[in-house]
Chain A
Amino acid sequence: MPTLVRKSLGEYRRALIGWTVGLCAFLTMYISIYAGFMDDPETFSAQAVAKYPGAFRDLMGGMSDIATGRGYLQAVAYQLLGPLLFTMCAAILGNRAIAGPEENKTLELTLTLPIDRRRLLLERWAALALGLLIVALVTLAVATVAASAADMNVPFGKILAAHTGLFLLVLFFGTLTLCVGAASGRRQVALAVTGVWGVAGYIVETMGRNVDAISWLRWISPSHYYLDGRPLYEGWPYGDYLVLLGATAVLLMTALLAFERRDVGV
């Protein structure tokens, strides 16, 4: 493994362990209470769900079949909270690639090593992608085991498809944070851009899908390419995932070009 990738992963280690533990705890807890709901069918009956405000149901992805294992898994793990937590992890790590070290001034010495800037950024990004992949793999295992322990009857293939989408979504947001950080050198700017794009994109995709005035905006929402194909139900939405991957590649290229020509630390 290239020295700088190894070094960066070492720097991320504590954060990676923390986020993995947190995400796994979240998944196990939420999935395991599914059994409790099933014992009391009233909670999620069609009439009960209908009492929730429409906007809330939209926000939670419809909730139409939340009484089934698949619907519950989608609503609690893959719809909002899972992506939200995992995206926060990606944004924090993405900021530690360039903007963080630049703000605390440790980047200067790294830049004076005999490595060109492109390689520096690529290796930092590779460490970010690897780190997120590790978190994704561990959480995938935990989600699969917890879902089968709770008798949710969701085939592994569908969980894998949804989890892959989740990974691609957070990789996109992690790369976005890294890119804005590499271009501006400021952590707060990178976090703000990622937060606004993420939240606005999610709202447009869920609550806005029935609002004609904004529904056309869905195509620039990263969540659209993650949620619209309903991977937990339909399996792999290849086209959508390719869009996420392509957008990530574009962001990475942008980061390389922007970082290459910038004054660092002034």
Chain B
Amino acid sequence: MTAVVETEGLTKFYGARRGLEDLTLEIRPGEVFGYLGPNGAGKTTTIRLLLDVIRPTSGRATVFGADTRDPRVRARIGYLPGELALEGRERARDYLQFLADVRGGVSRGRIDDLAERLDADLSVRMGELSKGNKQKVGLIQAFMHEPDLLILDEPTGGLDPLVQQEFLAMVREARTAGRTILMSSHVLAEVEHVADRVGIVRAGRLVAVEDIAALRERAVRHVELHFDAPVPAESFQGLPGVRDVVVQGASLRCTIDGRPDALIKAAARYTVVHLVSAEPDLEEIFLTYYSEEEGRHAHAGA
């Protein structure tokens, strides 16, 4: 299947300042792609390039196989800007209707359904919307025409936790319906529950693309086992992926990298009365990633 978004050596300089350099990325149909990085790393630059708001210095990008210059591509995209500006005396509902008309119409009642789900008041004038309500109007306009690709730049900013849950539900529904989603954030926690893959961008460069599932598998986990009788430490030495083994009488503490399989099989020879395994903190893994990458770059540069 062809990629929904494909970039090759995509580079954008604002004068001498680097916005994004040499981005080669593929987003597959039907996946939720989390695009992570600190503020100013190049997330919004990438998104604006995909939407043809700005033009690349070099490299190319296609969406649904077509050049981003082709305006017809944008009919299939729903976009939530990172800095959503809504101004003027127009009422939110009228503005949404205008956007719907230009995009070729939305099904009847769709706007009201979404407004109800997100608890948004659409009778307010745009210039008078609160920050949270602005974000809701932004989400409604991004989702209302049921686009094949959703590009959401920092979507949860300004939303209260309940609405955030509703938003994540909308993202999951969109994925179930086979749509593709590109979602940027500066924190992993915001995307890790919905994303299939994540890409990390730093200082204008993509430093890693990872499967969330693989990342979980690779995660470092602290495990504690309690047995009904003291166990010999030798039984747990040299197991693949198991390190820092400490046996104290009937209890064992260790760290596992990746799968816990070898440890479980070794422990199965004894009677296990209690097992504690902490949920891996993906944020921590990412930070490790960052520092490793940086270390490598620094090394290469030296």
List the interface of chain A (C-beta within 8 A of B).
3-4, 7, 10-11, 14, 104-106, 108-109, 111-116, 261-266
**Alpha-carbon distance between A116 and B83 when the two chains are bound, in angstroms:** 22
* Residues A265 and B102 in contact, CB atoms below 8 Å apart: no
Cβ-defined partner of B74 (8 Å) among A106, A114, A262, A264: A114
Across the interface, which residues of B come within 8 angstroms of A266, CB to CB?
14, 54
Which of the candidate stretches B85-93, B182-190, B206-214, B238-246 sits at the interface with the other chain?
A: B85-93
* Residues B101 and A112 in contact, CB atoms below 8 Å apart: no
Q: What residue in chain A is nearest B75 (Cβ atoms)?
A: A114
* Residues A11 and B102 in contact, CB atoms below 8 Å apart: no
* Residues B79 and A114 in contact, CB atoms below 8 Å apart: no
Across the interface, which residues of A come within 8 angstroms of B51, CB to CB?
111-112
* Residues B81 and A108 in contact, CB atoms below 8 Å apart: yes
A-B contact pairs, 29 of them (CB 8 A): A3-B98, A7-B98, A10-B90, A104-B85, A105-B83, A106-B85, A106-B87, A108-B48, A108-B53, A108-B81, A109-B79, A109-B99, A109-B141, A111-B51, A111-B52, A112-B52, A112-B53, A112-B74, A112-B77, A113-B74, A113-B99, A113-B102, A114-B73, A114-B102, A115-B71, A115-B102, A261-B55, A264-B53, A266-B54
Across the interface, which residues of B come within 8 angstroms of A112, CB to CB?
51-53, 74, 77, 79
The reply on B264 being an interface residue by CB < 8 A is no
The reply on B72 being an interface residue by CB < 8 A is yes
Q: A3-B102, A261-B55 are in contact. Are A109 and B84 (CB under 8 A)?
A: yes
Tell me, rounded to whole Å, the shortest Cβ–Cβ distance linking B107 to chain A.
18
* Residues A3 and B77 in contact, CB atoms below 8 Å apart: no
Across the interface, which residues of A come within 8 angstroms of B73, CB to CB?
114
Q: What residue in chain A is nearest B104 (Cβ atoms)?
A: A114
* Residues A106 and B99 in contact, CB atoms below 8 Å apart: no
| Beyond A108-B81, A109-B79, 11 extra complex contacts between A and B, CB < 8 Å | A3-B102, A7-B98, A106-B86, A111-B51, A113-B74, A113-B99, A114-B71, A115-B102, A263-B14, A264-B53, A265-B48
Q: Tell me the residues in window 207-253 of chain B with beta carbons closer than 8 Å to chain A beta carbons.
A: none
Cβ-defined partner of A113 (8 Å) among B48, B54, B81, B103: B103
* Residues B98 and A104 in contact, CB atoms below 8 Å apart: no
* Residues A263 and B85 in contact, CB atoms below 8 Å apart: no
Across the interface, which residues of A come within 8 angstroms of B90, CB to CB?
10-11
* Residues B84 and A3 in contact, CB atoms below 8 Å apart: no
Q: What residue in chain A is nearest B70 (Cβ atoms)?
A: A116
Tell me, rounded to whole Å, the shortest Cβ–Cβ distance linking B12 to chain A.
9
6 A-B pairs closest in CB distance: A105-B85, A114-B75, A263-B54, A116-B71, A114-B74, A112-B51
* Residues B53 and A265 in contact, CB atoms below 8 Å apart: yes
* Residues A4 and B54 in contact, CB atoms below 8 Å apart: no
Q: Tell me the residues in window 29-63 of chain B with beta carbons closer than 8 Å to chain A beta carbons.
A: 48, 51-55
Q: What residue in chain A is nearest B14 (Cβ atoms)?
A: A266
Tell me, rounded to whole Å, the shortest Cβ–Cβ distance linking B94 to chain A.
9
Q: What mask results when residues 86 to 125 of chain B are scored 1 for a CB within 8 Å of chain A, else 0? A: 1111100000001101111000000000000000000000
Of residues A4, A114, A116, A264, which shows the largest number of chain B Cβ atoms within 10 Å of its Cβ? A114
**Alpha-carbon distance between A206 and B189 when the two chains are bound, in angstroms:** 69
Tell me, rounded to whole Å, the shortest Cβ–Cβ distance linking A265 to chain B.
7
Q: What residue in chain A is nearest B50 (Cβ atoms)?
A: A112
Q: What residue in chain B is nearest A4 (Cβ atoms)?
A: B102
* Residues A263 and B55 in contact, CB atoms below 8 Å apart: yes
Tell me, rounded to whole Å, the shortest Cβ–Cβ distance linking A244 to chain B.
32
Across the interface, which residues of A come within 8 angstroms of B141, CB to CB?
109
* Residues A114 and B103 in contact, CB atoms below 8 Å apart: yes
Across the interface, which residues of A come within 8 angstroms of B101, CB to CB?
3
**Alpha-carbon distance between A266 and B90 when the two chains are bound, in angstroms:** 26
Q: What residue in chain A is nearest B80 (Cβ atoms)?
A: A109
Tell me, rounded to whole Å, the shortest Cβ–Cβ distance linking A251 to chain B.
23
**Alpha-carbon distance between A11 and B48 when the two chains are bound, in angstroms:** 26
**Alpha-carbon distance between A263 and B101 when the two chains are bound, in angstroms:** 26
Across the interface, which residues of B come within 8 angstroms of A115, CB to CB?
71, 102
Q: A11-B88, A108-B81, A109-B81 are in contact. Are A263 and B53 (CB under 8 A)?
A: yes
Tell me, rounded to whole Å, the shortest Cβ–Cβ distance linking B66 to chain A.
12
